[in-house]
Amino acid sequence: MIEALSFEFIQHALIAGVLVSFTAGIIGSLIVVNRMVFLAGGIAHASYGGIGLAVFFGFPIFFGASLFAVVAALFVAYITLHKRHRIDTFIGLIWAVGMAIGVIFIDLTPGYNVDMMSYLFGSILAASTEDLYFMTALLSIILFVITFWYRDILAVSYDSEYAALRGVNVKFFYTLILILTALTVVVSIKVVGLILVIAMLTIPIYIAEKLSSSLFSMMFLSGFIAMFFTISGLWFSYTYNLTSGASIILVSAFSLGVFLLLYKNR
Amino acid sequence: MSVIEIENLSFTYEKDIVLENISLDVYDKDFLAIIGPNGGGKSTLLKLILNMYHSKRGTIRVFGKAPAKNLSLIGYVPQNTNVNTEFPIKVIEVVLMGHVGSKNPLFGYGKDEISCAMGALAQVGMEDFSQSKIGSLSGGQRQRVMIARALCAHPKILILDEPTSSIDIQGQKEIYELLKLLNQSITIVVVSHDISIILEYANKAAHINKRLSYHDISDKENRFHTHKQGEHFCEVELLQMLGSENCSTCDTSISSVSKSVDGKRKDLK
């Protein structure tokens, strides 16, 4: 294992794993406390349309996926704020339509034969330097946002009605949380793939929620737990030559099971 | 001095008339109880006062201005404070939310804000729980925290929507005792179903069922039949009296109501 660390792709994978773990930990906490898990799932699958678009037109995958994910997030924000009772229908819609657009664009791309499985199940071992820049930039933006607007975000998440009464712009912060969710989903796709992204955004957070007494500690504890899962999942994947994304998720799920057993028998 | 003035207010929600031609004055240091059936428009009226809903017909004035201009003078304790109890948040953070929207430091909380929030917690007797997770408190304790959050901004009016709907009897009494204490310095408006309890503490009552009928009940001891030790008022009697829309002089309707109630009591025996 130690000699593996000398490979550049392993180093990249580890750095990407740490960056994405904290991104997913912070934003995942917001997703869970705001009950947006299903919304995040819809956005993740819709972003596949952007991947197809990027492949077809030959621009960077991250850019295409981010574009689609953010548009999906804005759409979801609009629906939640204006037609809340129909939200599940519309999530189902963007979920399926996004995937379909992606598949069609990839069909239309002449001579394209890259394994699309890597977007479905992750390809952290193929993380490039540009990927790392993108991840660092996103984590910096997220840290900035939660540092300066922590109390507004906390107020909106805990009790949006009261926050509105106190003059907090609830619509703005709700939309902001969804846009950050969209971008987080895009970087998480690199690590675990869009099928598994929901697990990455919920399992570590669920454990952290039980152990935290504030949103802030929940965010960072989630980050550390996600990092632990990602690195041990990577080790597992490397040692037994298994798909990295699926290994990370199964390590997480197994740990969650152990945690819940111990937590119940405290 | 009236702190809230409502004149000829009507409100429709998706073509349904919720409130019709409501007029109401709330005076300084009043303890106003708003009662009425479910769907009668009680919560809607509160939300209109709090500027969460807007009506095109009629006017609301809070301290002589439109509600939006004087929101900081109103403290609000919402209904259903038992939802979202899994949320990882400390009691002190919930109370500090009362400050959101005013000038804040760049990050974290100012010392003055924290001491203010601790003061509000002390007012409701919850200062020992400031570092507890909100979900670990009982329903009554959580309600006290919500009252502290409303007090954090030093309001002149405190509005509570069903503050005791999910609290045990002892807890309900404690909440109302607390409100009675706070009433010495601020005006209190409470929406509630607990008629007998609220009428022990309120000095004014408004019954809302689309329309409003208003009653000064500050001398209720002299007016109503009370049960043993003068503690419990007859709810049937009160409901009928307060619900009758054309009650301009309460005394006449009370005598007729009490007669009919007496008649019913005999029937029951």
Closest C-alpha to A59, from A107, A126, A130: A130
CATH 3.40.50.300, applies to B2-218: yes
The reported pLDDT for the residue numbered B42 is 86
Q: What is the pTM of this model?
A: 0.84
Task: Among A44-53, A61-70, B251-260, name the one with the lowest average pLDDT.
Answer: B251-260
- Number of structural domains found in chain A: 1
Task: Among B80-84, B120-124, B125-129, B222-226, name the one with the lowest average pLDDT.
Answer: B222-226
| Residues A169-196: b if buried by 16+ CB within 10 A, e if exposed | ebbebbbbbbbbbbbbbbbbbbbbbbbb
The reported pLDDT for the residue numbered B21 is 86
Interatomic CA distance for residues A246 and A124, integer angstroms:
11
The reported pLDDT for the residue numbered A40 is 93
Chain B residues in contact with A209 by the CB 8 A cut-off are 86, 88
**Alpha-carbon distances, residue B7 vs B20, B21, B157, B204 (angstroms):** 11, 8, 19, 18
Chain A positions contacting chain B at CB under 8 Å are 33, 147-148, 150-152, 154-155, 157-159, 161-168, 209, 212-215, 217-218
- Higher per-residue confidence, B268 vs A241: A241
Interatomic CA distance for residues A186 and A190, integer angstroms:
7
Which chain A residue lies closest to B109 (C-alpha atoms)?
A151
- Higher per-residue confidence, A143 vs B116: A143
3 state DSSP class of B188: strand
- How many percent of chain A have pLDDT more than 90? 63
Instruction: Measure A208 CA to nearest chain B CA, in Å.
Output: 10
**Contacting B residues, span 143-172, partner chain A, CB-CB under 8 Å:** 149, 153
Q: Is B73 on the interface with A (CB under 8 A)?
A: no
Residues found in chain B: 269
Alpha-helical regions (H) of A109-214: 117-121, 129-148, 150-158, 160-165, 170-192, 197-200, 203-211
Residue A161 lies in a domain: yes
Amino acid at A86: R
Residue A96 lies in a domain: yes
Q: How confident is the model at residue B104 (pLDDT cuts 50, 70, 90)?
A: low
3 state DSSP class of B226: strand
Q: Is B133 on the interface with A (CB under 8 A)?
A: yes
Out of A155, A161, A218, the one facing B100 most closely (by C-beta) is A155
**ipTM value of the model?**
0.83
User: 3-state DSSP: chain B helix, strand, coil percent, rounded to 5?
Assistant: 40, 25, 35
Q: How confident is the model at residue A32 (pLDDT cuts 50, 70, 90)?
A: very high
Q: Is B173 on the interface with A (CB under 8 A)?
A: no
Contact B131 A152 (CB under 8 A): no
The reported pLDDT for the residue numbered A142 is 96
**How does DSSP classify residue A207?**
H
Q: How confident is the model at residue B250 (pLDDT cuts 50, 70, 90)?
A: very low
Contact A213 B90 (CB under 8 A): yes
Which tens digits make up the pLDDT trace of B194-234? Answer: 777 677 888 888 888 878 777 777 666 555 555 444 455 55
The reported pLDDT for the residue numbered A113 is 61
Instruction: Measure A20 CA to nearest chain B CA, in Å.
Output: 23
Residue A49 lies in a domain: yes
Interatomic CA distance for residues B150 and B101, integer angstroms:
13
- What average pLDDT does chain B have? 78
Out of B88, B99, B109, the one facing A213 most closely (by C-beta) is B88
* Domain boundaries, position A150: 3-259
The reported pLDDT for the residue numbered A1 is 62
The reported pLDDT for the residue numbered B56 is 82
- What average pLDDT does chain A have? 90
The reported pLDDT for the residue numbered B233 is 54
Q: Are B177 and B144 in contact (CB under 8 A)?
A: no
> Averaged over B159-186, what is the pLDDT?
86
Task: Among A11-25, A121-135, B217-231, B246-260, name the one with the lowest average pLDDT.
Answer: B246-260
**Alpha-carbon distances, residue B262 vs B59, B237, B240, B249, B256 (angstroms):** 42, 9, 13, 21, 10
Q: How confident is the model at residue A255 (pLDDT cuts 50, 70, 90)?
A: very high
> Averaged over B160-164, what is the pLDDT?
86
Q: Between the ranges A166-180, B52-66, B104-118, B158-172, where is the mean pLDDT highest?
A: A166-180
Out of B88, B107, B109, the one facing A148 most closely (by C-beta) is B107
Chain A residues in contact with B106 by the CB 8 A cut-off are 148
Among A30, A32, A158, the strongest candidate for a mutation testing the B interface, having the largest count of B CBs within 10 A, is A158
Each domain of chain B, given as residue ranges in start order, spans: 2-218, 220-269
Closest C-alpha to A46, from A90, A119, A86, A97: A97
With tokens 């929901």, the residue in question is A198
Whether the per-residue pLDDT at B131 is higher than 50: the answer is yes
The reported pLDDT for the residue numbered A77 is 93
Closest C-alpha to A162, from B250, B152, B33, B228: B152
Whether the per-residue pLDDT at A72 is higher than 90: the answer is yes
- Higher per-residue confidence, A219 vs A126: A219
The reported pLDDT for the residue numbered B265 is 44
- Other beta carbons less than 10 A from residue A143's beta carbon: 14
Which CATH number goes with the domain that contains A106? 1.10.3470.10
Interatomic CA distance for residues B21 and B31, integer angstroms:
23
Whether the per-residue pLDDT at A108 is higher than 80: the answer is yes
Closest C-alpha to B82, from B164, B189, B175, B177: B164
Which tens digits make up the pLDDT trace of B28-43? Answer: 999 998 888 888 888 8
Residue A181 lies in a domain: yes
> Averaged over A235-245, what is the pLDDT?
90
The reported pLDDT for the residue numbered A68 is 92
> Averaged over B138-142, what is the pLDDT?
87
